[in-house]
Structure 1
């Protein structure tokens, strides 16, 4: 593969992102679903690529024809396939860069109920997913037990986490889990937005919301994904002078350092494990959770030495957002429809179990765990546990556009404790290797205990609080 082919493959990414944005602007029902342009572009690339258009044209044009792979050549697909696994390291290394840890008392008071609720939803996905695997998927479909962890990986973790686990799935002997996880992440985003918008409409009609009373309040520009003129502000701050180093370059370099720190940690832990214990468990662990720890270490260092405040959170978020767009588009475009078709019934069962648990959590557990503004706060965690963090934020923005409720603040505090473990954190990354190494029963018991802690703390402690 030549450098020109790699370059053109990356240019195609930008083209499909723009087409996705154009479709979002022109198609009203996609606006109403608040679908990201990366998801739209990814589906379009999937349809126009070898998986769909190529299969339709191949019998007509022949296997040697350019059209046998649709509009996307094999070289483009070869470049796109590993992109998601690379970009997830950028996304996770950026999670805590530029953030400031708030007062712990406030975190506990405001974010505690949110953490209990999110913790319950996350661990519940493991419990019911593993039960489904043990009782149905392993005996009847000859699948490995760790597929029970795919609900949390795909729903909570999203495309990035699923992509980051690709090599791990291959080493565990079931590479098909990657395509299933990407499929679950895609269905999760769609169901999260569709069910979330439906839930918001229901909540408004039933007077369950305390802020917004009309879901159609959004302007035409907002539905199209364009910031209204009066709300436009700088995307990031110029904290360093361009003649010394471009601010974008500086922040990208810091993220690179965070990833390198994470890589060093992973290599060191792997070496110690092999030298002291003689096992190879850490060889199954992907890089991205360690990249997140690397980001925390870099942030701690900058907290001590950065007296001029040159580390700008907004700039970090722009890099993170770009990486996430590339990640989602490339992951959806390269998913194998063959694998999903081969395991269609298990895929549908995993999807159904995950959605039912999340809907139960929102409508039954949410009012009982979250002491105030339960719907505004609960819909954010529902969105995250069904789709990704961005889905949760999107739904909260619909139901609380001016941030009048404590939903955003509580959600942010929760992430400080939640993200290092679930939703793509250490537990998400370690779950499949742990189930593979020790069997599903020990991890199921552990997950049930974690679920009980979150549920009981939420129901009998935070649920009784009045803010």
Structure 2
């Protein structure tokens, strides 16, 4: 609830986003000019976030961007992102390949969590007895999901003794981005040299537009529809207003549920409730879309416009999440952050490579690259790596990535409930996280049973 009650002026709020906008413009220019950034396809949002970290209040203090406000923006942008995605038309047929993708996502979530917890326990029982063991559960949130979820859950744990938990979550996310755009690019290039790519046999085939990030000969977007008459309301304005409507309903629902928790004498659950606000936002968005389908008014909603809105929220969320990292927090937690991140990244690569090779006969490497990028950074990272291998998006990998990740979030939702159990239902937090480790190990076993049954199914 703290993120709703942050006391800032409207001027400061808009100035923060103006600074982030300026950083994005500078980053876009640098990407178009600097060969190193083009070589590793560093996206402008990540570059802008790094610049904000260096010159903001956590660095040189040249501009007034501090962690508290930026973390709050991450919290809200996360919900807006899920709303925009939820208001799009549902896909009627996922396909077996997308279901396989979702199982791979779930397996990686669990492996990341298990390894993170094991390393955290080792550190706790050796030379870091004051370590909050739940730090080991942040990698699947920061790597596999997105920075906003890691910040939200980590921030909630601050109420239970995890000092600077939200910033630690963002730090893990930043490390994941680093892996996606360094190790990920290296793996893709190695695959091209080894002849594993389906469509290209040389890195030189990557278009100049993708390298520089600037489209030299812009063309009209024929997939986007203008759904309202401009003299009444701009179509983009209407879509943003619809997102705002769902967010207002989300807030009212959260307040109602908070009152219900107080009424049943469960006020200690309120902080956890608010940390999951993005889940309720997504559910409400899907419900609104369903209602609009029943009322036959969905023609006023354009999926491409909603996708662009979600991309807008994602860009600013990544800038804010990276710029919010605190060097002081890194100095305190560098041992667990570094050790957990390195081992988790190695395991992530191994699990994805094994499972994609095990299940797919076609487009194996394209699928591997897209999942690796997604499971260390965000979906955008996965699409960046995929575009190197499949510039025209001819393979089904992009489709699998989008719908497989959505399905994985549905099946992975119980994990978000389980990871919070120790702080609410155990007097001994360490014992509670041991229980979580056992539950996740069992869940992983069940996933592999399902995998062995489905892996040879036709895609």
Q: TM-score, normalised by structure 1?
A: 0.87
| Residue equivalent to 1:451 | 444
Deviations 1:303-349 (A, max 9, x none): 21234611111111222222222221122222111011111111101
Task: Report what 2:116 is aligned to.
Answer: 129
* Contact persistence 1:273–1:282 (CA under 8 A): yes
Query: Which structure 1 segments of 5+ residues have no match?
Result: 54-69
Q: Which residue matches 1:59?
A: none
Q: Does 1:353 align with 2:335?
A: no
Deviation at 1:156, TM superposition (A): 1.4
| Corresponding residue number in structure 1 for 2:64 | 73
- 1:266-345 matches, within 5 Å, as 266-276=254-264, 278=266, 280-285=268-273, 286=275, 287-307=277-297, 309-345=299-335
- CA RMSD between the two structures: 2.4
CA separation of 1:4/1:454 partners in 2, compared to 1, >3 Å: closer, same or farther? same
- In structure 2, stretches of 5+ residues that fail to align are 1-7, 427-431
Shift in CA distance, 271/50, structure 1 to aligned 2, threshold 3 Å: closer
1:151 Cα deviation (Å)?
A: 0.7
Look up the match of 1:102.
Answer: 92
Q: Show the 5 A alignment for 1:392-411.
A: 392-411=382-401
CA contact (8 A) 1:371 1:466 kept: no
Pairs aligned (count): 443
Residues 201 and 215, structure 1, Cα contact 8 Å, conserved in 2: yes
Indicate whether 1:120 and 2:100 are aligned.
no
Residues 235-257 of structure 1: per-residue CA shift (max 9 Å, x gap)? 84210112222212211121122
Q: For residue 269 of structure 1, report the CA deviation from its aligned partner.
A: 3.8
Partner residue, 2:429: none
Aligned to 2:148: 160
Which residue number corresponds to residue 4 of structure 2?
Answer: none
Task: Classify 1:325/1:426 alpha carbon distance in 2 versus 1 (closer, same or farther; 3 Å).
Answer: farther
TM-superposed CA distance for 1:358, in Å, is: 0.8
**Deviation at residue 182 of structure 1 after TM alignment:** 0.9
In structure 2, what is the Cα distance between the partners aligned to 1:223 and 1:242? 35
CA gap of 1:77–1:146, structure 2 versus 1, over 3 A, is closer
- State the shift of 1:139 in Å: 5.0
The equivalent position to 1:11 in structure 2, one of 18, 24, 32, is 18
Asked if the contact 2:189/2:203 (under 8 Å) is kept, the reply is: yes
Partner SS state of residue 89, structure 2: coil
Partner of 1:49: 56
* Cα distance in 1 for residues equivalent to 2:188 and 2:247: 38
Greater shift in the superposed pair: 155-164 or 119-128 = 155-164
How far, CA to CA, are the matches of 2:260 and 2:347 in structure 1? Answer: 39
**Cα displacement (A) at 1:108:** 4.4
Hey, what does 1:67 align to over in structure 2? none
Matches within 5 A, 1:423-434: 427-428=415-416, 430-434=417-421
**1:376 Cα deviation after fit:** 1.2
CA distance in 2, matches of 1:119, 1:131: 18
**Is the Cα contact below 8 Å between 2:152 and 2:166 reproduced in 1?**
no
Residue 61 (structure 1) aligns with: none
Structure 1 residues 431 and 385, CA gap change in structure 2 (3 angstroms): farther
CA shift for structure 1 position 283: 3.0
Per the TM alignment, residue 453 of structure 1 is displaced from its structure 2 partner at its CA by: 2.5
